[in-house]
Amino acid sequence: MQRRTFLQSASVLAAASLFSVARAAEQSAVRITLPSAGSAGSAWRPLIDSQHLNTDSTLNLNWITADPGKMQVQLSAGSLDVGVFGAVGLATLVNRGSDIVLFGPALNNHGRWIVRNDSPYKEPKDLIGKTIATTAETSETYLQARIAASLIGIDLKKDVKVIHGSPTANLALFERGDVEAIITLEPTATRLVGRGAREIARVADLWKQATGQTEDPFLVGLAASRTWFDANRETAKQLAALFERFGQAIHANPDSLKTIAQDLGIKADETQAIDLLPQRLAPAYSTRWDDGVFATIDKQIQTAVKLGLLDRTPDRTIYVKA
């Protein structure tokens, strides 16, 4: 009887110990945003896993589907540790008192101006006075497109009639012919080109044309509350290094994007779009987090202030080196 009691007690203690270990592991995991299929960020999890890019055994990732519109709330509430933000969107929040800070790379700008194949328009300036569709007015996609367009003499607020809506609604408008063009991100742009639509400009190219820079500009980076960052500096450093490694792996082997086409929201029968992924989507992934990137972020904020997209430059720098 004593032996049986001892064994039962030992089993209970062992189970409790395993539960404690599992609970501790769960609590130490980084709760990081997972963009849904149909966005460039949806490549992160499948390729990090399949290519074993997370080489640090202490970096435990808990991917959480996060609505970009609710990301600040999730970060502030503690239900999400790490999200992604762009320069202008984050600067707007910082001016309102947010403590969120950028600490690592994520995506370069991959916005595209798309028209139908039979369209007479060959460049963005041809669309002055016309109607186009794009994402919400507060989205980084639109904000950065407006900044880049302004640098080549186009004011999207005044020179073009812009309809703002969800990606699905915008596609419907475009395919019905209710708008002359659409400004959208990858991989949606590649899906449209694969179906016969025509690209007339990349937002990144407009930026480079105006600034003389040779690399695609920053779109969004890894972000967390200053409180989380200060308490988890080593984890933040590991995470920033992982995303640099991810971008470098994609640039070295862009064909790997074909293997996760379905994770990106592309159907198996969209063979033309899948074939285009390596050349069109690979440049979207950042490989650096350094002074060059910081200079671009500063330039984006300065231009946003001149355009009135920001009322002022934030009192503090919105990025840090992890």
The answer to whether position 251 is within a domain reads yes
Cis peptide before 105 (omega within 30 of 0): no
Residue 8 lies in a domain: no
Judge if 237 and 301 occupy the same domain: yes
Domain boundary among 163, 178, 211: 211
Label residue 322 by pLDDT band (50, 70, 90). confident
Length of the chain: 322
Q: Indicate if 172 and 89 belong to the same structural domain.
A: no
pLDDT digits (tens, 9 = 90+) for 238-276: 999 999 999 999 999 999 999 999 999 999 999 999 999
How much is the pLDDT for 8?
53
The domain total for the chain is: 2
Higher per-residue confidence, 66 vs 146: 146
| Pairing label, strands 181-184, 131-134 | parallel
CA distance 216 to 204: 5
List pLDDT tens digits, range 112-121: 999 999 999 9
56/127 same-domain check? no
Taking the C-alpha atoms of residue 67 and residue 64, their distance in angstroms, rounded to an integer, is 10
pLDDT of residue 18 exceeding 70:
no
| pLDDT tens-place string over residues 291-313 | 999 999 999 999 999 989 999 99
Indicate whether 140 belongs to any domain: yes
Domain C-terminal end among 161, 183, 211: 211
Residue 85 has pLDDT above 60, yes or no: yes
Asked whether the beta carbons of 249 and 73 are under 8 A apart, the reply is no
Locus of tokens 């929201």: 265
CA-to-CA distance for 258 and 273, rounded, in angstroms? 9
pTM to 2 decimals?
A: 0.89
The answer to whether residues 95 and 169 belong to one domain is no
Domain range spanning residue 183? 112-211
Each residue of 166-176: pLDDT tens digit? 888 999 999 99
Which domain-ending residue is among 211, 235, 256? 211
Which residues have a Cβ under 8 Å from the Cβ of 289 and sit 6 or more positions away? 103, 104, 105, 221, 240, 244, 321, 322
238 and 94 housed in the same domain: yes
Domain-located, residue 161: yes
pLDDT of residue 117: 95
User: What average pLDDT does the segment 39-60 reach?
Assistant: 95
